[in-house]
Structure 1
């Protein structure tokens, strides 16, 4: 199960978060999303846990909780629709080159 985490303090590292979720079970993967230009955390990330029961337990215990002074949101990650929107393409067209003709 893939889990979405929001409201993370910007200084939290992946190893620390992996250890926290590891208290609930096996963590298959974990990624804190970072700004492309600065490399700094954007305050959210994803955890993948192969056992759904362990993932649900982590969600139940962590959602709305305090993590290093920040209230975090922890929930099942929603799949992005695969309609071109997730890659930044719009169906309406126009203006993508930085100027309009």
Structure 2
């Protein structure tokens, strides 16, 4: 399972997220997506931890928490939905 963190401060770094989430267990991976054109953070991140129980505890404790002046949205990440344009481009049509 992967955790989605939304409404994230644009000042947040990977190290900031590691410090917050390590309180709940071992972190496998942190991803901070950036805008392709500007290179700036997009205001959300993904964190993957070793155990589902650790991720559940982090979600339960951090969803709605005020962090860096913003109220976080923390939940289980859902698979990215593909739109029809994306499918057409990948299939070569």
**TM exceeds 0.5?**
yes
Which stretches in structure 1 are left out of the alignment for 5+ residues?
Answer: 94-101
What are the equivalent positions in structure 2 for 1:12-23 lying under 5 Å apart? 12-23=12-23
Instruction: Classify the secondary structure of the residue corresponding to 2:25.
Output: coil
TM-score, normalising length: structure 1: 0.80
5+ residue gaps, structure 2? none
Q: Which has the larger radius of gyration?
A: 1
TM-score by length of 2: 0.86
Corresponding residue number in structure 2 for 1:52: 52
Distance 1:57 1:32 in 2: 21
Greater fraction of residues in helix: 2
Q: Which has the higher contact order (CA 8 A, sep 6+)?
A: 2
Aligned residue pairs, count: 89
RMSD: 2.0
